[in-house]
Amino acid sequence: MKFNLQSRIICTALVTVLVWAHVLWDYFHDGIPVHYLFMDKNMPPFPNWLGAIILPFFCWVLLARIAKRVNNHDDKDSLKLVFMRFLSAFAVSLAISVCFENGIEIPGLLLLSIFAQAFIFPLYKSEFLLGWVLGTSYTFGAMIPMLFAVVLAGVFYLFFQIRVITLRFFR
């Protein structure tokens, strides 16, 4: 199954509408919130409207990367596998967001398990990043999850490559 241009446009439009609806809701109710990196007020703030501008482009780029990989017949990633990866990342990030919103301390083991899973699963792939950002953007705004996703993607890529090299070495 192909992931065509029309699908990417629909997905990006849906994300755009949802993020701007959220920003407009905030604007007309309590004002547009700002988020600080590491929750430190000494750091520069990231208002939600800034994320609403950048998130559709981020989504479009990741969907283009996904489409390129899925539509390539040489790659074994199917659209169904990509969607399941997206849903798993979305579910985990949504659970973390809900815990944060309700004041539930997230066990360190849960966060460490994500790093451990990076040795097993290719968590650096675009569908994981998109699921993570969309799942956490309501709670943390869009900018901070995007920044963390890009940094973590690099770390997760290194972890996965260490696994690949280790498996080749012990064959």
With a cut of 90, say whether residue 110 has pLDDT above it.
Answer: no
Per cent of the chain over pLDDT 70 is 96
With a cut of 80, say whether residue 109 has pLDDT above it.
Answer: no
With a cut of 70, say whether residue 75 has pLDDT above it.
Answer: no
Taking each helix axis as running N to C, give the angle between helix 126-140 and helix 48-71, from 0 to 180 degrees, rounded to the nearest 10.
160
Least confident range of 33-37, 58-62, 133-137: 33-37
- List the structure tokens of 100: 């944060």
pLDDT digits (tens, 9 = 90+) for 7-34: 999 999 999 999 999 999 999 998 888 8
Domain residue extents for the chain: 5-169
| C-alpha closest to that of 72 among 131, 2, 126, 11 | 2
Confidence of residue 167 (pLDDT cuts 50, 70, 90): confident
The single-letter DSSP state of residue 124 is T
Give the separation between CA 11 and CA 103, rounded to whole angstroms.
32
| Predicted local distance difference test score (pLDDT) of residue 1 | 66
With a cut of 80, say whether residue 119 has pLDDT above it.
Answer: yes
- Chain mean pLDDT for the chain: 90
User: What count of other Cβ atoms lies within 10 Å of the Cβ of residue 21?
Assistant: 11
| C-alpha closest to that of 55 among 112, 136, 119, 111 | 136
Confidence of residue 74 (pLDDT cuts 50, 70, 90): low
Taking each helix axis as running N to C, give the angle between helix 48-71 and helix 79-101, from 0 to 180 degrees, rounded to the nearest 10.
160
